[in-house]
Amino acid sequence: MTLLNQPERDHSTPRGEGAPKPDGTGVARLRAYARAYVALSKPRVIELLLITTIPVMFVAADGVPPLWTAVATLVFGTMSAASANAINCYLDRDIDQEMRRTRRRPVAMDQVSPRGTMTYGLLLAIGSTVGFAVFVNWLSAALSLFAILFYIFVYTLLLKRRTAQNVVWGGIAGCMPVLIGWAAITDRLDWAPFVLFLVVFFWTPPHTWALAMRYREDYAAAKVPMLPVVAGERRVLLECVLYSWATVAVSIALWPVAGTTLLYPVVAVALGGLLLAQAHRLLHRVRTGVTGPQLRTMGFFHLSNAYLALLFTAVTIDPVLANVLG
């Protein structure tokens, strides 16, 4: 359960800037290690997972989901995501040292050993899978394990350093929380979670490429062939427009598939209009000769974050509203 390439809050202690000295207290050292392991988990990424996991449980339950199931799903889902993120830090420790955005991660800073990082990730993977199987159901456990393995073996090891399509197909791992949340409530899959799966799938590339355009030199230095590294800005922004249209179209499809109230399609259309307007504005700017930092692609990145959060908020509210009105 993970989304790709989100900016992370720095929970680690930078080397030489307040890191505990060898003669520091045991409490100080413990706190430093705790901060480092929290950073390995990439908590900012996990926050985004909750945005997609919680709402789909409301849709699956046709209202407020059972409290214990919801809490267990969030706890073990967080462990699952932290596992994938930690193992990713282990596997990418070489390129993390080359990139400004990632060079302060704990493994790149030698705050946590590679062996400790891998052990931490594997223990979380085992704990999350067993937890889902015992306290939720086997289907959610299988989906969670698939997400971890896909993120590690398909995205990190196979795609990330080899193809500009890395975040397109690697983004499947970030779509899994909607399936896991649905399976946790119903112990089966249906069309509605697959529609939301596709929303996240089409949303991920333009969202990530907007960030990658800001850090293009980082990815180039690390030899990671993100689309903004291997293609021109016009090509990247054209693809952002196309994927944004796909995102909006699929988001509206949830209305007939899940039988929502009118609240959801109204919100989906309004948010989609804002997303498309910003995507087209960037494409227009690059076509008129604006390039580089003047494009201000981070505006689109932050808007896309808000788009996903607000869209899934509407997903959460809609079934509750339907029960009140019905």
Exposure class string for 240-268: b at 16+ Cβ within 10 A, else e:
bbebbbbbbebbbbbbeebebbeebbebb
What is the token pair recorded at 192? Answer: 């509605």
Contact 222, 160 (CB under 8 A): no
Q: 201: domain CATH number?
A: 1.10.600
Position 43: which residue type? P
Contact 154, 176 (CB under 8 A): no
Position 238: which residue type? L
Residue 10's pLDDT is what? 44
Q: What's the CA gap between 263 and 35, in Å, rounded?
A: 41
Residue 11's pLDDT is what? 44
Does residue 197 belong to any structural domain of this protein? Answer: yes
What is the token pair recorded at 3? Answer: 């989304």
Exposed, middle or buried, 18 (CB in 10 Å: 0-12/13-18/19+)?
A: exposed
Q: How many domains does the chain have?
A: 1
Angle, CA of 240, 174 and 263, to the nearest 5°: 75
Contact 298, 210 (CB under 8 A): yes
The model carries a pTM of 0.90
Does residue 168 belong to any structural domain of this protein? Answer: yes
Does residue 19 belong to any structural domain of this protein? Answer: no
Q: What's the CA gap between 126 and 132, in Å, rounded?
A: 10
Does residue 2 belong to any structural domain of this protein? Answer: no
Does residue 21 belong to any structural domain of this protein? Answer: no
Longest Cα separation, the chain: 66
Does residue 20 belong to any structural domain of this protein? Answer: no
DSSP string, 77-90: HHHHHHHHHHHHHH
Does residue 276 belong to any structural domain of this protein? Answer: yes
Residue 196 lies in domain: 32-325
Describe the chain by its helix, strand, coil percentages, rounded to 5. Answer: 75, 0, 25
Candidates 78, 309, 320; CA nearest to 181 is: 78
Q: What's the CA gap between 128 and 176, in Å, rounded?
A: 14
Task: Give the list of residues 6+ apart from residue 220 with CB closer than 8 angstroms, or none.
Answer: 229
Task: Give the list of residues 6+ apart from residue 134 with CB closer than 8 angstroms, or none.
Answer: none
End-to-end CA separation in angstroms for the chain = 34
Exposed, middle or buried, 125 (CB in 10 Å: 0-12/13-18/19+)?
A: buried
What is the token pair recorded at 140? Answer: 């959610």
Does residue 26 belong to any structural domain of this protein? Answer: no
Residue 98's pLDDT is what? 84
Give pLDDT tens digits along the chain (326 positions): 555 555 554 444 444 443 444 445 777 778 887 888 888 888 877 887 788 999 999 999 999 999 999 999 999 999 999 999 999 999 999 998 888 888 888 888 888 899 999 999 999 999 999 999 999 999 999 999 999 999 999 999 999 999 999 999 999 999 999 999 999 999 999 999 999 999 999 999 999 999 999 999 999 999 999 999 999 999 999 999 999 999 999 999 999 999 999 999 999 999 999 999 999 999 999 999 988 888 899 999 999 999 999 999 999 999 999 988 87
Residue 30's pLDDT is what? 82
Task: Give the list of residues 6+ apart from residue 224 with CB closer than 8 angstroms, or none.
Answer: 95, 160, 161, 166
Q: What's the CA gap between 158 and 166, in Å, rounded?
A: 9
